[in-house]
Structure 1
Amino acid sequence: MIDIRQRALDLLLITAPEDKVQGVAALFEQAATNPIEISRQALDVPELPGRPAKPDLVAPRDLPRRRNNAELGHAALIHAITHIEFNAINLALDAIARFADLPEDFYRDWLRVAAEEATHFTMLNAHLAESGKTYGDFPAHDGMWEMARKTHHDPLIRMALVPRVLEARGLDVTPKMMDKLRASGDLKAVEILELILREEIGHVAVGTRWFNYLCDQRQLEPLSTFSELLNIYFAGELRGPFHDEARKQAGFTDAEMAMLNSR
């Protein structure tokens, strides 16, 4: 019997990216073919995940400007996306380990997300190596994890604001990044991002599924709840343009898109 929450916590604490992605892949495979146990007690989940000493984490304004050097700028862009995917692995593991008393499908959904994010990270880091760089060679910012820390206390708020805001932002910006990479001739990176975009729609949909489930459990109306949380945590900061089609595929309603586009 696999204690999926404890195993997710063990993986969350691993600092070496290669060990983390291998462990996630192994757990996903094991959980697909073996019974799982879901411990109901609170686990001692730290505020910060296991991660390597590099990259240096700085404020977004302190990141070097990629346009100053075309070759380094291209590698820095791939590195920035790689960093997002590494954070996404930890975010999925944290959701499994941190939040108790949810249906089994919640934990299976987020384990699948962690496994797919691990694949994304591995593909991007291998592509980064082709330019002579590796994950950790450039500084990065920690915005995704800062929001994770703000939502440690409530799975409903986590589902609303991490997958449905921060990760959904990737749906909005990825097509333009693909255009930029295509123009530079990096068709391999475009191919990787095409896969990531398809699977990230599914990841945001997982957030939508469990946000709506938790709203239903608490007898909350999803649209007004989502709007209120945006006002509290992202007052004036969330603006379009939005990738309406991708967001609708990820479960955003017409009313939610109208609300977002009117902000």
Structure 2
Amino acid sequence: MDLHEHAKQILFSGNLEDKLAIIDLDTSFKLTSSVEKPSNPSRSKIIQFSNKKIKFPKKHTLHENDKKAQALHFFANHELQAIELMAAGILIFPTENEADHKFKLSLMNTIQDEKKHFLLYMNRFNELGVEFGDFSVGDFFWRQLAKINTKAEFYSFLALTLEAANLDFAKYYCELFSEIGDEKTSNIMKIVYEDEIRHVAIGRSWLDLWRGNLDLWAFYIENLPELITPARAKGMVFDHEGRRKAGLDEGFINKILTYRDDFSVTDRKNWK
């Protein structure tokens, strides 16, 4: 199975096991045409996207196993959407040269990490008595694909926004779970955090390659999907160190840190 065949398996099979399969892939260069964006990834009925809103558990409840499992279920759905988004990224852009192929290889390598993260989350919430699909799942990440038409837009949204924000979230919850004595869950968050540094670095390196004479901030802003702002690129704490390790310069980091609009998550100073 080659990159594109596996990307199609991820995107168009409703079977969770197919999406998460670890496969020895043929990664040789092949010319490919683009595939039309699907409106939704195929998912079995129990894990299809829902309009039902479920609130993320409050900080003070996360010592309770059911609330902890619900939080991990949220995280797992984020990982699955990322897997599906990256599979779409492999398919919706043609492969016309070696650079296109390397772009897709980098996506597939990141997909393997996201599969690992999903399984870590799922195994942990299974231990706590929850199955994937016990809670409804949203589609915010996936919905943005309709607005993305270039590889620069793709990585601006995926790497420098979603994955950069997850530096903050993963670090925050790593420390929180450690504080309440759950080192097992804390260690999962640490693994996710360390992988996210590399993922942000990959996106940053591609944007550096494509931005020409524009500085990274200007190029990033120019390529964000409609209605997505840099406020989405951070969490309730701000991880300077992880961003530096990902190769972001101080100017870019400070612009993210000080960016403000009406998106409220980053203004929740004291989550309760």
Common fold by TM > 0.5: yes
Moved more, 63-72 or 191-200: 63-72
* Alignment partner, residue 117 of structure 1: 114
Classify the secondary structure of the residue corresponding to 2:43.
coil
**TM-score, normalised relative to structure 2:** 0.82
Over 3 Å counting, the alpha-carbon distance change for 1:128 and 1:165 in structure 2 is: same
Task: State the Cα distance separating 1:172 from its structure 2 match.
Answer: 1.0
Return the alpha-carbon distance in structure 1 between the equivalents of residues 254 and 79 of structure 2: 29
Task: State the Cα distance separating 1:46 from its structure 2 match.
Answer: 1.4
* Alignment partner, residue 269 of structure 2: none
Give a deviation string over 1:233-260, Cα, whole Å, max 9, x none: 3348446642111112223221211221
* Alignment partner, residue 39 of structure 1: 31
1:201-212 mapped onto 2 (5 Å cutoff): 201-212=197-208
Give a deviation string over 1:195-227, Cα, whole Å, max 9, x none: 1111111112221122222223xx544321213
Give a deviation string over 1:103-146, Cα, whole Å, max 9, x none: 32211111111111111111211111101111111123222112
Q: Does 1:85 align with 2:79?
A: yes
Return the alpha-carbon distance in structure 2 between the equivalents of residues 90 and 236 of structure 1: 23
Return the alpha-carbon distance in structure 2 between the equivalents of residues 136 and 211 of structure 1: 35
**Residue type of the partner of 2:114?**
E
- 2:146 corresponds, among 121, 146, 149, to 149
- 1:165 corresponds, among 146, 161, 167, to 161
Return the alpha-carbon distance in structure 2 between the equivalents of residues 120 and 13 of structure 1: 21
**Residue type of the partner of 1:199?**
D
* Alignment partner, residue 255 of structure 1: 251
Return the alpha-carbon distance in structure 1 between the equivalents of residues 104 and 54 of structure 2: 35
Task: State the Cα distance separating 1:229 from its structure 2 match.
Answer: 4.1
* Alignment partner, residue 234 of structure 1: 228
1:1-263 mapped onto 2 (5 Å cutoff): 3-22=2-21, 25-26=22-23, 29-31=24-26, 36-55=28-47, 57-58=49-50, 62-64=53-55, 66-67=57-58, 70-100=64-94, 101=96, 102-151=99-148, 153-216=149-212, 220-229=214-223, 233-235=227-229, 237-238=231-232, 241-263=237-259
* Contact 2:13–2:42 (8 Å) recurs in 1: yes
**TM-score, normalised relative to structure 1:** 0.84
* Contact 2:51–2:138 (8 Å) recurs in 1: yes
Return the alpha-carbon distance in structure 2 between the equivalents of residues 10 and 231 of structure 1: 26
Q: What is the aligned length?
A: 251
Classify the secondary structure of the residue corresponding to 2:211.
helix
Return the alpha-carbon distance in structure 1 between the equivalents of residues 146 and 209 of structure 2: 22
Task: State the Cα distance separating 1:75 from its structure 2 match.
Answer: 1.0
Over 3 Å counting, the alpha-carbon distance change for 1:168 and 1:52 in structure 2 is: farther
Query: Percent same amino acid among aligned pairs?
Result: 22
Moved more, 133-142 or 181-190: 181-190
Return the alpha-carbon distance in structure 1 between the equivalents of residues 186 and 258 of structure 2: 31
Return the alpha-carbon distance in structure 1 between the equivalents of residues 42 and 89 of structure 2: 14
Over 3 Å counting, the alpha-carbon distance change for 1:39 and 1:48 in structure 2 is: farther
